A and B are shown apart, each in its own frame.
Chain A
Amino acid sequence: MNKHLFASGHTACSGCGQSLAARLVLEASGPSTIIANNTGCLEVFTTKYPESAWEVPFIHSLFENSAAVASGVEAALVYLKKKEDIHVIAQGGDGGTADIGVQALSGMLERGHDILYVCYDNEAYMNTGIQRSGLTPFNANTTTSPVGSQSLGNIRPKKPLPEIANAHAIAYVTTATVAFPQDLQRKVKKAHSLKGPKYIQVHVPCPLGWRHESSLTLEVAKAAVETGLFPLIEYENGKLIGVRKIAPKPVQEYLKLQGRFKHLLKNSEALKQLQEIADYNIQKYDLRAQAT
């Protein structure tokens, strides 16, 4: 019944992880949902006038303010005594969430609005041509963290945004990925069942920016989880309540699929540093499955 809430015919690239995730999120949310969206790929490829892919009320204002616009939507619904019947989602890409929009996001989380924030994390500013963001991984090659004789790419690891969100002592913080659609939808539904602010960061490969085959989107996304580079975690009221266990694969299994990491594959020191990031995640969240 909810199948077509996110209509086909939009202009996303083939293999776009974000469009897939957005459809999954909306299907799990249902028709009684209002969405506030930051500027970015998702907004651009779904709302080119006079067409719209959104069969639910949708508002796009600016790059950095979906969390604040959604706060106003939610406050208005509370005033109208309609909030109980309507889910409010604020969403944006990694740049709109972790960089320019992090202040608005923090404000929304701190104020206790009953809103689900969805960050579609494709790890760079893809809409403007693959510039690095605060969620770009260590040593990734982007147009503003290019590889050169003096550079191996992005100089810092991903900003730990789920941890930052969790530090606001909110109802629910989780990570998800298009590689596991049922897990993603379960988490969206769970988020909506809880009152207060919720934060979901969804890992969404971008074939164009990550430079992988568009047929490999799910495989790439899955490899990010299986190497420990994108851990799937779930916090409820500040407490870690679940992680997806993995039998960790070496990071090369993820890196070798993507052109943005191509320069690292023969650099053992750089590979070691990336493996350390994965190992840190594996240890911190106890990701390793028990041997059977």
Chain B
Amino acid sequence: MRQFLEGSRAIAETIKLCKPGVISAYPITPQTHIVEELAQMVANGELDSQFVNVESEHSAASVVLGAVATGVRAFTATSSQGLIYMSEVLFNIAGMRLPLVLTCANRAMSAPISIWNDHQDSISLRDTGWMQFYAENIQEAVDLHLIAYRVAEDKSVMLPAMVCIDGYILTHGIETVDMPSQQEVEEFLPKYKPLYKLDPREPLTMGPLADPDYYMETRYAIQETHKKEVLKLIPAIAADFAKTFNRNYNGLIELYHIKGAQKVIVAMGSVCGSIKQVVGELRAKGKKVGLLKISTYRPFPCKEIYEALKNIPKVAVVDKALSLGSLPPLASEIRALFFGKKQKPSVISSFVAGLGGRDVTKESIKEMLRQLNTKEKTGEFIDLKPELLRENYE
């Protein structure tokens, strides 16, 4: 049913339809609306779930870890400092192969403290073993949560998934969303049946000590699951999703006006909406530009990106995060996947935009496209204010 909803409300309604038995969270802006809504649903008796108010994000993640280990579907959400505070537990959840779903309302990292959007929080946790999905709009945010649970809980995967939603832009934005029905969700997402759980009838030990004779294989197994199972499964599950909900995703990447394009922008998250608008306008003027949107950042769909970009002359990669002291993260991976390949773009320029909530406007996007006409850029900041960089002290 089509409804005019705030992003956080839409996500909360979606989680409700997934019927998690345990929800635990700690307040942080701009995530908080999601769990406030869920708390109210539990309070109203609309959702049968244990809502556990904790004293920190570290404990929020630990509570849902314990719940999933006991065989119950669970949910948490956070942002920024909260996500990084959870990070120790997030590594642990992936290592223990527990299929949790977490919403990250993307927000910049302190210092200086900023409650506004960029991708530094989740990008900094790309190596935890979690799958990471990035939503362009509220509809995708809704749909990716359903897909995330389905992929995470698949017997061939059993890994946690993070759905990354741009803070404010999507959490507090209001859009028309086609909300799924309970029946549709149940058709697409079966009841969680754990492969293993804490049960006195069949005692098992979770989280043992692995010495050098055993540790490496556990990491190899996660890597193989990402590379082989997940990359194969996501498009298949997305196709299944289309059957139930009549919305088509590839799940890994989306191509927008790629055909015949001379310049393609690569980006993730809500900025793709603005890029699509610019691409549309420029295409109408006969300019051959396009967009490659990355929906699944972990596992990284190298093959799909390679196939899509190998014949594109010029590529601009937009990072809303940094790896301070090195190449921006997304750009470094896009460049790496073309290393040693014969067919590849002649220019892969790297741009940094929208840090700490600075708007990425249509003009910002056009500026990146203009800079593709010059020599290859690496980590070029867009919309910097030079007047703030002048040294004003002796």
Contacts and interface: CB of A to CB of B under 8 A. Distances in A.
The answer to whether A and B assemble together is: yes
Interface in A125-165: none
B29 interface: no
B52 interface: yes
Contact of A49 (B50, B52, B211): B211
A61 B95 CA distance: 10
B200 A106 contact: no
B89 interface: yes
A232 B135 CA distance: 57
B203 A54 contact: yes
A238 to B, nearest CB: 21
Interface in A100-137: 103-104, 106-107, 110-111
A36 B208 contact: no
Contact of B66 (A32, A43, A76, A110): A76
A52 interface: yes
A65 B200 contact: no
B209 A76 contact: no
Interface string B76-120: 000000000000110010001000000000000000000000000
Contacts of B68: 72
Given A48-B211, A61-B89, A68-B62, A103 B22 contact: no
Interface stretch (A78-86, A201-209, A244-252, A261-269): A78-86
Interface stretch (B7-15, B53-61, B317-325, B332-340): B53-61
Given A34-B200, A59-B69, A64 B21 contact: no
B332 to A, nearest CB: 30
B13 to A, nearest CB: 20
A47 B209 contact: yes
Contact of A52 (B50, B71, B200, B205): B205
Contacts of A76: 21-22, 50, 66-67, 70-72, 74
Interface string A40-65: 00011001111010111111111011
A69 B68 CA distance: 10
Contacts of A65: 58-59, 62, 65, 89
Interface residues of B, number: 42
B199 interface: yes
B212 to A, nearest CB: 11
Contacts of B210: 49
Contact of B203 (A43, A55, A111): A55
Interface string B191-208: 000000011100111111
A71 interface: yes
B114 to A, nearest CB: 26
Interface string B210-242: 110010000000000000000000000000000
Given A34-B198, A58-B204, A73-B66, 16 more contacts: A47-B209, A48-B211, A49-B210, A56-B200, A58-B205, A61-B96, A65-B62, A72-B64, A72-B67, A73-B69, A73-B198, A76-B21, A76-B70, A76-B72, A107-B55, A111-B54
Interface of A: 31-34, 36, 43-44, 47-50, 52, 54-62, 64-65, 67-80, 86, 103-104, 106-107, 110-111
